[in-house]
């Protein structure tokens, strides 16, 4: 995706998204000044976060829910669907970017609330 190709590591292995690409790739549905501020204040993520082995995945034994951001340019919606299907998750689609947690906060909160009542 456009956003994934804009992820770069520094000499310590910390990953950030190119601030010039960030607004369009991560937060296209936020006002430009907010997307630019997010781009300039993003915190790096170290690559080892993706390399740690998982012994037990909770989704194997518990009900799961997944909000698919259909306009995401960081994690392709097709990949999100693949992840959700693998987890047998109940899905909710929102027509939003990678920033769907902010832009579609009510929809995301409704999914979280629904999941909180599942035993």
Residue-level pLDDT at 7? 95
- Which residue shows structure tokens 């909770």? 58
Q: What is the pTM of this model?
A: 0.86
Q: What are phi and psi of 75, to 5 degrees?
A: -110, 110
78-108: burial string, b at 16+ Cβ within 10 Å, e else: eebbebbeebebebbbbebbbbbeebbeebb
* Tens-digit pLDDT profile for residues 83-106: 999 999 999 999 999 999 999 999
> Does position 72 have pLDDT exceeding 90, yes or no?
yes
Longest dimension (CA), the chain: 45
Q: Are strands 65-69 and 45-46 parallel, antiparallel or unpaired?
A: unpaired
- CATH superfamily placement of domain 2-116: Alpha/Beta hydrolase fold, catalytic domain (3.40.50.1820)
Residue-level pLDDT at 119? 74
């Amino acid at each position: 995706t456009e956003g994934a190709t804009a992820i770069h590591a520094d000499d310590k292995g910390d990953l950030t998204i190119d601030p010039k690409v960030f607004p369009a790739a991560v937060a296209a549905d936020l006002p430009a000044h907010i997307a630019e501020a997010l781009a300039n204040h993003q915190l790096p993520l170290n690559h080892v976060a993706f390399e740690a082995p998982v012994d037990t995945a909770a989704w194997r034994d518990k009900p799961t829910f997944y909000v698919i951001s259909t306009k995401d340019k960081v994690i392709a919606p097709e990949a999100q669907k693949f992840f959700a299907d693998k987890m047998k998750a109940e899905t909710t689609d929102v027509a939003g970017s990678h920033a769907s947690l902010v832009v579609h906060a009510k929809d995301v909160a409704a999914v979280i609330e629904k999941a909180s009542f599942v035993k």
